[in-house]
Amino acid sequence: EAQVTQNPRYLITVTGKKLTVTCSQNMNHEYMSWYRQDPGLGLRQIYYSMNVEVTDKGDVPEGYKVSRKEKRNFPLILESPSPNQTSLYFCASKLAPYNEQFFGPGTRLTVL
């Protein structure tokens, strides 16, 4: 089944404890993105990647890192999480810029 997967789906952590949210897609898509969704602010792009080893900042990259060492995986790294990073995170992928974008099921992160 063609899909985007994320892990973990739910995570409660404490300020300053490094964490990684994994994202994987099995559709051989070139483009991958991370978004966060917050009430009243909608979906905002954190980082995106156009291909292996090619990444760029989105609208809200502060406090996040990404890597794209292989096409299928695009992990999101929070080196030192803070409470303002409590949010619902979505990974997404698509074949090309104008193609349909597929989202993962979301990761609900709480930073205490």
By beta-carbon proximity to other proteins, the closer residue of 59 and 70 is 59
Do 36 and 78 contact (CB within 8 A), yes or no? no
Q: 37 and 87 in contact (C-beta within 8 Å)? A: yes
Compute the least distance from the CB of residue 10 to other proteins, in Å: 11
C-alpha distance from residue 64 to each of 39, 75, 105 (Å): 20, 10, 20
Which CB atom, from 65 or from 103, has the smaller least distance to other proteins? Answer: 103
Can you tell me whether residue 70 is helix, strand or coil? coil
Q: What angle do CA 31, 58, 52 make, to 5 degrees?
A: 35
Q: What are phi and psi of 24, to 5 degrees?
A: -140, 140
**Residue 18 C-beta: closest distance to other proteins, Å:** 25
Question: Closest distance between other proteins and the C-beta of residue 112, in Å?
Answer: 21
Nearest approach, Cβ of 52 to other proteins (angstroms)?
Answer: 14
Could you list the residues that contact other proteins (CB under 8 A)? 31, 33, 35, 40-45, 48, 50, 56, 58-59, 90, 97-98, 100-101, 103-106
Closest to other proteins by CB, 1 vs 100, is 100
